[in-house]
Structure 1
């Protein structure tokens, strides 16, 4: 039995949420939480996964269509993941990338990250109608990337020639609770604001400021400048709050982290009614954030950025 195993990481957006949908840049990093897809021949089509069976079938159909396969082969597909669903960590993109990679190699012995990105992006549209393409690019490329959607058919993806220095890799997640709203719903919320004349100019100015802070973070990482790094995250987070995508429930927590010399921001679409998923938090002494998290009765998890992208783990014959 020929079994192919491929893994893909989750991702965080260091800055650029929402603005990236409208042609602004985003700075994204792969993280050390991964999803694994195993594909092998089977007499009976079998899918073993905690959730997402409908999406898995959609990815399978997308890959078979690309390779002009008239009949979908009988396969056993096994999915296991460390990436929580619904927390804006790119779980669907990681699933798509790992599965596209495994299927491409199993069916055609092709390992092509550019193709994996393309087919993952196409598959993602099943979940996110107005997908920016940022999640597939991040989980396929890995490390630290600069992403911009230029046109519907043109996306700029640039992998940094340097990673996140050890000095600045002091991140953790605070779990504020899974958002009530999906990423798609949050994207629609912002798009509706842009259609209101009185709101349009304000949102566009926030996008511009968000872009400035995205650039500032990139420079701060290169120069290993912690002061500028923290300041840019704080200002960028304010733009997201002013867009209305940060729940009032978590803003006091963000301010407390800032008071002790750190920074915190939402990830992905955010949330308005309850939790926002994970807050990405930074402090050179993470233990100080742990104390605040405990006071709010939230769980905390250390996280590492700049991890490897989609990866062919093994191919047994």
Structure 2
């Protein structure tokens, strides 16, 4: 039986190495970011389905009886990789969404309605429930916020409908599902991501499901042996960018200078593989020497990314500021602004870290001290959440 309240969380992600090179068949390493999305699900008998997404100002309510009477046979998509435009329009109609809805609202609500109806439609009656999703992840920053959202929804709905068992035992603060159940969560979350993004790679939901680190190459996703939770500074330059345009610019540079850019991409792939090797060693016995190698790899990759033309003055400033404090940084994701990561060695004193954070904030950047290699999707007891998270959920 479900507890009175089901609490689920899932991490965001950052690309550690291999951004842009991965588009051209090279290796990328993605790691779970310990900024998390939290979901609270409560079953009711009030005949309503309530969705509350306070980060983006959404509250939606549907009548269960009305949803029960809808023809949802169109949700039987089989192996279709992307919902067709016709299916998306039907889903909007089912969700009661109008064309004047803001795009972020439309997609978040559509993903929920799709997963709720698809997962729960085989129940004798659709469940009445309240769902609140609150996130530490900024939306649209390339940190996998939609992947974490989809994973939380899939895990909670599959558990609420009894498709998978709740793994949390009495007295446990946190627990995880079996590997088989995680595979199912990941599958459904990927479908949710398709509703939001059309044709995603599957990396974001995979990292959010499994946690730790994974290698991605030409559609193949391979979880790595869990590395230690490396401490980082995550910095958002708040400079908007178009990943699509940046990917296109790299492709153009490759076509224009193939003998220059092809070796760059191969070198970036080699950086990813070397980082994977070092992380494997650190899983057994992390040492300061490992951190020094990781810093060298960060510097080399950042120079390669600048050579590809995806740097930005804001990211140069980020690297300069952290270098002045003895730290090493690189962009993460598409580049052209967006976010960067800074490795924090184990020998750093906290005043040194605080000084670097203050200097970055003085540049107008947002900065978080967090970690990578975090735990994947998990279920929590009501008393196990950190006080700020619990207060945020209780206030909604």
What is the CA distance between 1:295 and its match in structure 2? Answer: 5.0
Identify the residue that residue 148 of structure 1 maps to in structure 2: 216
Structure 1 residue 237 corresponds to structure 2 residue 294? no
Answer whether contact 2:120 2:157 (CA < 8 A) is retained.
Answer: no
Tell me whether 48-57 or 88-97 shows the greater mean CA deviation: 48-57
| Conserved 8 A contact 1:96-1:123 | yes
Helix, strand or coil for the counterpart of 1:29? strand
For residues 62-111 of structure 1, the C-alpha deviation after alignment (integer angstroms, 9 at most, x for no partner) is 46436664986543221111111122211111100011100111123415
Structure 2: gaps (5+ residues): 57-103, 166-180, 383-396
Cα distance, 1:170–1:312 mapped onto 2, change above 3 Å: closer
Alpha-carbon distance, 1:48 to partner: 0.7
The answer for the alignment partner of 2:189 in structure 1 is 120
Q: 1:124 to 1:288 in 2, by over 3 A?
A: same
Which whole-Å CA distance do the structure 1 matches of 2:48 and 2:361 have between them? Answer: 48
Equivalent residue for 2:111, pick from 55, 58, 65: 58
Specify whether residues 299 and 83 from structure 1 end up closer, same or farther in structure 2 by C-alpha distance, changes over 3 A only. closer
Q: How does 1:185-200 map to 2 (within 5 A)?
A: 185-191=242-248, 193-194=250-251, 197-198=255-256
TM superposition shift of 1:262: 2.2
What's the CA shift string for 1:5-31, capped at 9, x where partnerless? Answer: 211012222112232344322222222
Among 207, 230, 252, which residue is 1:138 paired with? 207
* Consecutive unaligned residues in structure 1, runs of 5 or more: none
* Partner residue in 1 for 2:52: 48
Give the ranges of 4+ consecutive aligned residues of structure 1 lying more than 6 Å apart after TM superposition.
none
TM-score, structure 1 length as denominator?
Answer: 0.81
Q: 1:279 aligns with which of 309, 315, 340?
A: 340
Q: Which residue of 2 aligns with 1:88?
A: 142
Q: In the alignment, which residue of structure 2 is the partner of 1:308?
A: 375
Compute the displacement of 1:217 (Å): 2.0
Q: Secondary structure at the match of 1:79?
A: strand
**1:16 aligned residue:** 18
Q: CA deviation at 1:283?
A: 4.2
Give the 3-state SS of the residue equivalent to 2:51 in structure 1.
strand
d(CA) in 2 for partners of 1:56, 1:94? 15
CA distance 1:44–1:259, shift in 2 (3 Å):
same
**Residues 1:11 and 1:186: Cα distance change in structure 2 (over 3 Å):** same
Other-structure match for 1:99: 153
**What is the distance in 2 between the residues matched to 1:192 and 1:110?**
44
With the length of structure 2 as denominator, give the TM-score of the two structures: 0.67
* Cα 1:256–1:203 shift into 2, 3 Å: same
Structure-1 separation of matches of 2:296 and 2:211:
25
| Residues 279/37 of structure 1: CA separation in 2 closer, same or farther (3 Å cut) | same
The DSSP-based 3-state class of the residue aligned with 1:131 is coil
- Counting matched residue pairs gives 299
Which among 232, 237, 242 is matched to residue 171 of structure 1? 232
* Cα pair distance change 1:98/1:202, threshold 3 Å: farther
Higher mean alpha-carbon deviation, 290-299 vs 1-10, is at 290-299
State how far apart, in whole Å, the 1-side matches of 2:210 and 2:332 are: 19
Answer with 115-124 or 98-107: which moved more: 115-124
Query: Equivalents in 2 of 1:61, 1:227: separation in Å?
Result: 46
Change (3 A) 1:59 1:46: closer
**8 Å contact kept, 2:226–2:373:** no
1:227 aligns with 2:292: yes
